[in-house]
Structure 1
Amino acid sequence: MNPTRRTLFKAALAGAATPALAAGASAKPCPPPLPQHNHGVEGQRVADLGNGMFLNPIVSGDHPDPTILKDGDDYYMTFSSFNAYPGIVIWHSKDLLNWTPVTAALTQNIGTVWALDLCKHGDRYYVYIPALPPGKGWGTYVIWADDIAGPWSDPVDMKLDNCIDPGHAVGEDGKRYLFVNGIRKVRLTDDGLATDGELEPAYSPWRYPEHWITENFAPEGPKLLYRNGYHYLVTAVGGTAGPVTGHMVIAARSRSIHGPWEHCPHNPLVRTLSEDEPWWSRGHATLVEGPGEQWWMVYHGYENGYRTLGRQTLMEPIEWTDDGWFKALGGDLSQPLPAPQKPANYNSGTFALSDDFSENKLGIQWSFDSPKVAAEQRARYGDKRLLLTADGNGPADTSPLTCFPADHAYQVEVNLDIEDDAEAGILLFYNHKAYVGLGFTKDVVKNYQYAEEHPWAAVQIPSRSVRVRLINDKHVVTYQYSHDGGKSWRTHPTRMEVSGIHHNVFGGFLSLRVALYCSGEGQVALSDFTYRALS
C-alpha cells in the first residue's frame, strides 16, 4: 500500500471505529441504530456501500470456516459444506467484497464435510477436505483441478484419519505439509495427494487465562502463510459455538516450518468480548493481501440474535507492525470500514436467489441435504421447470433441495405441480430432527412443527397445483398458498417462531435453510422460485 493511501485508510478507519459523542451526551449513551447495508436486486444485504466503505458480513448467510486464495488479481473462497451435495461451492471476487459462485467442486458423497483448505501449488488447485462418511470415522480427502472452474477430480483418500481443519503449507525445504487440529502436521508427497511420513505435534498454542468464558480450548483451523522470512500460523481456539466469548483468533511465527514457534504478543487478535456486540464467536481466520497491498483477515461469526443464519463471513483490516507482527484493526465490526481498493470498472453485483429453473443451478445455488443418490438421479430440468422425483415418506427421511437465505426477514414463493401420489412442500430445514413447514397432497395441506406432522393443524384442501409462499419475518414464520396462480392468497392458520433452531440447541453447526421436498410416490414440478428480502 502506498504511503498516501495508508494515511487515508488509517484516518477513515479511525473515524469508523470511534464515532464521536454528540454534544451534551452522557458518558454511556444508548447505542445508536446500526448502520444500514446497501441492498441488492432482491433487497439482500450488500457489503459494498458504494462510497469507499463496507459493512460486514462480506458473504451473508451460512458460509462458515472461510478458506481464501489469492491467485494473481483474483480471489477465490470456499466454505464448509457439511451434508450438502453438490458441495464445496467456490466463489470468486476481484475486490474481496463482491462475490459470485463459480462451481461446486464436490459431487461424490463422502459424508459430512467440515473446514477445508483451498490452495494452489504450481499450476494446480487443491482442496483438502475433512469428511465423516456415514458409519465411519473422520478421514482426510483431497480433490484437484487444473482450472479453478473445473472439472475437479474425484476425492482421493489420503489415509489420514481422525483429523479435521487441514491447512496446506510449503516449508523452507520446498516440501509440502498439512497442518491439522491439534496443532499437528504431516509431510505430503510432492504431488500433494498422499502423506509421506507420520503425523506429529507441530505447535503448542497460546493459552488464554483460565477464567475466560469459552466453550473449550479446541485448537483448530490452522492457516499458514510465508512472508518476509517467517512462516505465520493463524489458529482458532476457544470453541466454535457455545458462549459467545469463546471463539478467538491467535497467531504464532517461526523461521522454520518445523518450529520453534513464537506466540504473537497481540494474542488474541480477534475475540468477541460481550453479548452486546453485533457479531459473536468470531474466529477461524485466514490472512490475505487485498488489492492495493492492504492486508485483511477473513473469518466467520454468528450474528447477534440470528444464530439461525449460521456462521457468516466477516472481514477486517490488519496492520503489519515494524517488528514483523500484525494487529487486527476492525474492532467489533458494528460500523462501516474502509473498503479494499476496487479494480477499475469492477462490480460483480448481487447473486440472485430467485430462479426460473431455465438453467442448472445444482451446486451453485441448490444442493441436496444428505442425498441417498446422485443429484442428477432426482432432479431433471426442462421448459423452465425442475422435476424433483419423490424420495422417502416425508420430510423426516427425504433429502430436501435446499438453498441459503441471507437476511433477517425474507419471503420466498414457488409453484408446485404434484403428480401421482407424491407429497411436496416447503420447509425451513435445519436437519431431519429440526424443521417446520407445509406439505401438499391431493387431499390435504399438512403442517409440520418441531420436526413432526401435526394432524390437528392440517387443512382439507386438495392441492395438486399450488403456489406457496413462506415468510420469515425475524423468526416469525407465516405460510400462504394460492390455487389460482397467485391472484388470491389464503393464510395458513398456524404460524411458527423459529429463533431457537440453531447449533446451540440442535448441534451440527448448520443453519435454517429454505428447503423444497418431494416424498411418497411420483414427482413434483417446481417453477418460478422467487426470493425477496423484507425491510
Structure 2
Amino acid sequence: MDRISRRNLFGGAGAAMLAPAIATSAPLATRGDRGVGFEGQRCADRGDGTFLNPILAGSYPDPSILRDGEDYYLTFSSFEADPGLMIWHSRDLVNWRPFSVALPAPLGSVFAVDLIKHQGRYYIYIPFIPTAWSTSVRGSAAIYVIHADRIDGPWSAPVDTGIRGYIDPGHAVGEDGRRYLFLSAGHRVTLSNDGLKAVGPVEKVYDGWRYPDDWVVEAYALEGPKIFRRGDYFYLVSAVGGTAGPPTGHMVIAARSRSIHGPWENCPHNPIVRTKSATEAWWSRGHASLVQGPANDWWMVYHGFENGFRTLGRQTLLDRVEWTPDGWFRAVGRDLSRPMAKPRGGRAQPHGLPRSDEFSVSALGTRWTFHAPQKDEAKRAAFGPDGLLLTARGSGPHDGSPLTGGAGDRSYEVQVDVELEGTATGGLLLFLSSRLFLGIAIDGDRMITYGGGGQHHWREKVPPARRMYLRLENREHIVTFHYSLDGKNWIRHGLRLESSGYNLNTSVPGQGESLRPALFASGEGAVRFRNYRYRAI
C-alpha cells in the first residue's frame, strides 16, 4: 500500500488543517452546555476544564485506543467503507483530530479492530467478513493484520493470520513474553513472535460472567476482549448483552488473573458499566478499553447510543475509572448525562473535522467513504478545481455504492450543487443502508423523491433541469427537502419525512451503522458535485 500523506487527508480549505494537529487550541465557543467546533458541530470540551460526552459525536463504534507516550490514537470499525480505518489523534483524551488512514483498500466488512504497539512497531488486528467481490477469503470471518514502523504509515498490505470463524481480537503479551490474541466467546490463540501468524489451535480460556436471566438484553454475546496489565494482575475487559437490541442490553464486564493463562476471576462489581433504564442519557454502553490519562490516572473508552438518537450510530464515550482497595476498578460517570472534569495534564487541540467540501482535493477516508464498495471503487471519484465528478453506478442508491459523509449533530443541514452528465441520475441522501435511505435526486426530466429505502410515490412538480441545488435539513429526525435552480431562491419540497426509525436496529447487521449524508450517481454517465456545505443547527 502507498503511504497516505497527512497533508492530503482533507480537500479544499481543510487540506492544511492537519499540520497543527497537536497544537494548543484557542478558547472554545460554547453553546448551552458544550463546546462548539467547526461549522457549529458539537464537541465535548466545554472550555472550563470539564467535558460532556460524547468525545466523538456520530458513528464511531468499537473504539480501540492506544497510548504512545504523550500521544493517544483511536480507530474504529469502518465496516464496508472505502477507504477505512481512519486513525484519530489526541493529547488530552477529549479533543481529537483525524491523523491518518490505515486501510486505503477495503478487505470486506471491517469491524472491532485492535490497535496496538509492540517493541516499537504498530499493529492493527482486523476481523472482517468477506464481501462478494473479495477474492482473498471466502466464507466466515477472518482476522488479518497490518503493521507499520510509524503510526502514520506506510502500513503494510494485510497479512492473513490464519484465524477463521472468530472476531474481536485483543492483543496481549504474557508473563512469558509470548504474544496472544484473545477472541470472541472467550477464546484465545498464540501468535508467532512477529505477531503475524496464529501458532497452534484456538482454545477456550474464559467462560465470561453471567447476568441475571431476567435482565432485558439482546443476546449473551461474549465479545470485545481487551487485556491490560496492572501490578500483579492481567485484566480482561469484555462486553456481553449484544450491541444493539434493547437499551439495557450491552454492558462491560471484567475479570483478572495473575497469569495470562488463567484462571480468570470475575469482578465482584460486574457489570462495570450498564444502562439500567431507557430514561438514561446513553444506551447499550459497551466494548470498553482502559487507558491511563496524561496524569497516569485511569479512564475507560467505550461506545453507546444517544437516547432518542440511534440514527447517529454508536458514539464514543469517555468515563473516569477509580480503583478499589481490593484491586478492582469501577466506572465513575454513572449514566454520563452530566459534565465531568477533564483528564489532568494533557494538551488540548482543535477538535473534529470540517465536513463541508469544495472537492478540489480528495478527502476519501476522512470526509467521504464509499458504502459497500466494489474493488477499485475509489476510481469512480475524480476531484478537481471544478468539483467532484462521480461516475455513475447501478440503478439507484440501493446498488450504486453512495459516497457517504458523516454527521454527529442532532440537527443539521447539508446542501450541494448537482449537475448531470450523460443519462445519469444524481442526488443528495440521508443514507443508512442499501435497504433504508431517503432523499431527493434529479434525472434531467424530473425530481425523484426517496423514502424508506426506495422511490417515494410523491411527485414534486419541478421543471426539467440538468443542474440543480439540493438541500436537506434534518431537525431532530424531521427531514425537510429544498431545491433551487440558481442557488439563491430556494423552494421547499412538498413532502417532509420522519427518520428516527432509520437506525442500527432496523438495518441488516453490518450494513447500516448511522444515518449519514450521502451523494450518489446512478445510471449511465456521471454526476458533478460542487460546493458541499454542512451546518449544524
In structure 2, distance between residues paired with 1:360 and 1:506: 29
1:265 corresponds to which letter in structure 2? P
8 Å Cα contact 1:102/1:364 also seen in 2: no
1:190 maps to 193
After TM superposition, give the deviation of residue 483 of structure 1 in Å.
1.1
Amino acid at match of 1:499: S
Partner of 1:524: 527
- For residues 287-322 of structure 1, what are the alpha-carbon distances to aligned partners after superposition, in whole Å with 9 as ceiling and x for unaligned? 000111121010000000001111000011001222
- The 5 Å alignment of 1:121-520 reads 121-134=118-131, 136-344=139-347, 346-383=348-385, 385-484=387-486, 486-508=487-509, 510-520=513-523
| Alignment correspondent of 2:16 | none
Which residue in the other structure is 2:135 paired with? none
Q: Supply the distance in 2 between the matched residues of 1:390 and 1:488 (Cα, whole angstroms).
A: 28
Q: Which residue of 2 aligns with 1:92?
A: 89
CA deviation after TM superposition for structure 1 residue 159, in Å:
1.8
- Separation of aligned partners in 2, 1:175 and 1:405: 42
Quick one: distance in 1 between partners of 2:401 and 2:195?
Answer: 34
d(CA) in 2 for partners of 1:168 and 1:335?
Answer: 33
Give the conservation status (yes or no) of the 8 Å contact 2:227–2:234.
yes
CA contact (8 A) 2:65 2:115 kept: yes
- Deviation per CA, 1:48-88: give whole Å up to 9, x if none: 01101000000000001101000110000011111111011
- The residue type paired with residue 494 of structure 1 is L
Q: Please tell me the residue identity of whatever aligns with 1:37.
A: R
The separation in 2 between residues aligned to 1:529 and 1:456, in whole angstroms, is: 26
SS in 1 for 2:355: coil
The 8 Å contact of residues 446 and 459 in structure 1, kept in 2 or not, is answered as no
CA distance in 2, matches of 1:493, 1:533: 23
Matched letter for residue 437 of structure 2: Y
Is the contact made by 1:108 and 1:155 (CA closer than 8 Å) also made in structure 2? no
Contact kept in structure 1, 2:460 and 2:493, CA below 8 Å: no
Following the alignment from structure 1 to structure 2, what is the Cα–Cα distance between the partners of residues 231 and 145?
A: 26
The 2-side partners of 1:404 and 1:171 are apart by 39
Report SS of the residue matched to 2:280: coil
Counterpart-to-counterpart distance in 1, 2:457 and 2:280 = 42
In the alignment, the residues of structure 2 paired with residue 427 and residue 396 of structure 1 have an alpha-carbon distance, to the nearest angstrom, of 11
Of 318-327 and 73-82, deviating more is 318-327
Task: Kindly indicate whether the alpha-carbon contact (under 8 Å) linking 1:246 and 1:281 is maintained by their aligned counterparts in 2.
Answer: yes
Deviation at 1:325, TM superposition (A): 1.4
Q: Distance in 2 between matches of 1:203 and 1:171?
A: 16
Deviation for aligned residue 1:459: 3.3
> Residue 422 of structure 1 aligns to a residue in which SS?
strand
Distance 1:373 1:521 in 2: 19
Task: Output the CA distance in 2 between the equivalents of 1:504 and 1:39.
Answer: 30
Instruction: Give the share of equivalent positions with the same residue, in percent.
Output: 53
Q: Within 2, Cα distance between the matches of 1:146 and 1:483?
A: 51
For residues 423-453 of structure 1, the C-alpha deviation after alignment (integer angstroms, 9 at most, x for no partner) is 1101111111101111112111111111111
Secondary structure class of the residue paired with 2:77: coil
**Quick one: structure 1 residues 523 and 300, their matched pair in 2 at CA, closer, same or farther if it must change by over 3 Å?**
same
- Name the CA distance, whole Å, in 2 between partners of 1:462 and 1:257: 68
| Contact 1:108–1:154 (8 Å) recurs in 2 | no
Q: Say if 2:63 and 2:77, in contact at 8 Å, map to a contact too.
A: yes
After superposition, what is the alpha-carbon deviation per residue over 1:344-365, rounded to whole angstroms, capped at 9, x for unaligned? 5x42233211112232210011
Contact preservation (8 Å) 1:184, 1:201:
yes
Tell me, what secondary structure is at the counterpart of 1:61? coil
Distance in 2 between residues matched to 1:460 and 1:412, nearest whole Å: 20
The answer as to whether partners of 1:308 and 1:501 remain within 8 angstroms in 2 is: yes
Runs (4 or more) in structure 1 with deviation over 4 Å come to none
**Alignment partners' CA distance in 1, 2:481 and 2:453:** 16
- Deviation by residue 1:143-175 (Cα, 9 ceiling, x = unmatched): 111111122122112221111111000011111
Q: Distance in 2 between matches of 1:308 and 1:463?
A: 32
CA–CA separation in structure 2 for the residues paired with 1:463 and 1:363: 32
d(CA) in 2 for partners of 1:389 and 1:335?
46
Shift, 1:456, TM fit: 4.1
Aligned residues: 499
Q: Which amino acid aligns with 2:463?
A: I
Structure 1, unpaired ranges of 5+ = 1-33
- TM (normalized to structure 2)? 0.91
Distance 1:531 1:122 in 2: 42
Cα distance in 2 between the residues matched to 1:195 and 1:260 = 22
The aligned amino acid for 2:482 is Q
Pair 213,108 (structure 1): closer, same or farther in 2 beyond 3 Å? same
| Contact persistence 2:414–2:471 (CA under 8 A) | yes
- The separation in 2 between residues aligned to 1:52 and 1:107, in whole angstroms, is 37
What is the CA–CA distance in structure 2 between the aligned matches of 1:170 and 1:373, rounded to whole Å?
A: 36
Distance 1:282 1:206 in 2: 17
Superposition deviation, residue 507 in structure 1: 3.5
1:260 and 1:226 map into 2 onto residues whose CA distance is 15
Whether contact under 8 Å (1:35, 1:335) holds in the other structure is: no
